Amino acid sequence: MSKNTAAGKNYLEEQISPDGKTAPPGCLLPQDSGNLSMFSEDYPDACLDLANSGVNGLRHGLKGGDFERASPASNVGLPVFASRQTSGVSGRSVRDEMPYAAKAYDDLLSAMRELMDSASSTRLNTDKAETAVTGVIQSLERNPDALLCMPRIRRTENYTYAHCANVSVLLAAFALRSGADKLRVRTYALAGLLHDLGMALLPVAVLTARRNLSDTEKALVRRHPLLGSELISSLPDVRVEVRKAAMEHHERYDGSGYPKGLAGDSISVLGMITGIADTYDAISSNRPYKGALFPHRTLGRIYQMRNKQFHPVLLEKFVRLVGIYPVGSVVELKDGYRGVVTGSNYANPLQPIVTLALDPEGHPMCLHECDLAKDGVEGIAKCLAPENSGLDPVRILGWPY
């Protein structure tokens, strides 16, 4: 076991209950070891090793976030997740928050479009982006699930705009969930929105290519962190962390990234978590050259990068944030009922809140919300592609458009 792996494991072991057997509230792994078989279908052995050695859960921290530099040999300086219910600060339901979340998301897309369109001119400013970020934070504070599900139900023609908006939402939610102060949350949200700004200076034909890029084109694409960092440097009143996130979001924990090949704590915490969010959204989104993976499949893939491309503790925290079955996922239960995930469960990501809409025979039924962790309902058997499920997650979630 490497020094870094041992340190990460020691940190996780410290987070479980004193007897080392019972997963405390806020665990990542299911308390029932019998459920691990389903969990392991999409998560590699690295995750199960912890359970097999007596580490049955990853508990949420209880204090606010410290976002200073993270040492690769410890969890010092890493953000600590604060305990928070999925209903948000105001207790507003997902359905009630949806109109506000939709507007906040559209404002992000509009702000990103304006920034991209003006990137090659002298008119570049972040006024509209700053306003959009305010709306994002306010929506996330009321109910994070509504805005976090937008990438799954909102269809946009321009991948780059949507990708930047999605990463902004993920980083803002990560910072809020970590108990960061308001300035830090804004910094994370703005970093997510601007992290791929350098893409605006690349040829459209390269960005939208439905083929393998040539070596020359790949080298050109790999310049976008540098280009973006230079653009952000020209913006007044933008914190240096935002510029570093743009520069570092393709750097990797093991030194295999670009443009500088940084490793370990040479990469800022914001740079590392931006890289995780960037990768997660890229894999779980439709691209010009590939289709999207289900979110739980995406998590399985990026979990394989733990202790390699990504800092292990930061990745664990990100997994807790997005959940195994994020809101907006269409699922089929073991008893055949089908529905849409309408509420996340930070205590046990395998047992979210599901609104059932089809009976086992595929007949429509009155919408029935059930908490898989409390109502004694059969667990989730599989995720379904919305277009093949007979369900409309947009309608069930109450999206206004």
207 neighbors 193 (Cβ within 8 angstroms): no
C-alpha distances (whole Å) from 254 to each of 143, 221, 310, 347 are 35, 21, 8, 30
pLDDT at 348: 78
pLDDT at 291: 62
Phi-psi bin for 371: left (phi > 0), alpha (psi -120 to 50), beta?
A: beta
165 neighbors 154 (Cβ within 8 angstroms): no
Q: How many CA atoms lie within 13 A of 226 on its CB side?
A: 9
Q: Which of 255, 257, 254 is nearest to 279 (CA)?
A: 257
Greatest Cα pair distance in the chain: 61
Which residues are registered as beta bridge partners of 310?
306
Sign, CA torsion 161/167/173/175 = negative
User: What is the token pair recorded at 217?
Assistant: 């084109």
Q: What is the pLDDT along the chain (401 residues), one digit of tens a residue?
A: 444 434 333 333 332 222 333 333 332 322 333 333 333 333 333 333 333 322 233 222 222 333 333 443 434 444 544 433 434 445 688 889 999 999 999 999 999 999 998 887 767 788 999 999 999 999 999 999 999 999 888 777 788 899 999 999 999 999 999 999 999 999 999 999 999 999 999 888 887 777 888 888 888 889 999 999 999 998 888 899 999 999 999 999 999 999 999 999 999 999 999 999 999 998 887 665 556 677 778 888 888 899 999 999 999 889 888 888 888 889 999 999 999 999 888 777 788 999 999 999 999 999 999 999 887 787 899 988 888 888 988 888 876 54
Q: For Cα atoms 286, 288, 292, give the angle at the middle one, nearest 5 degrees.
A: 20
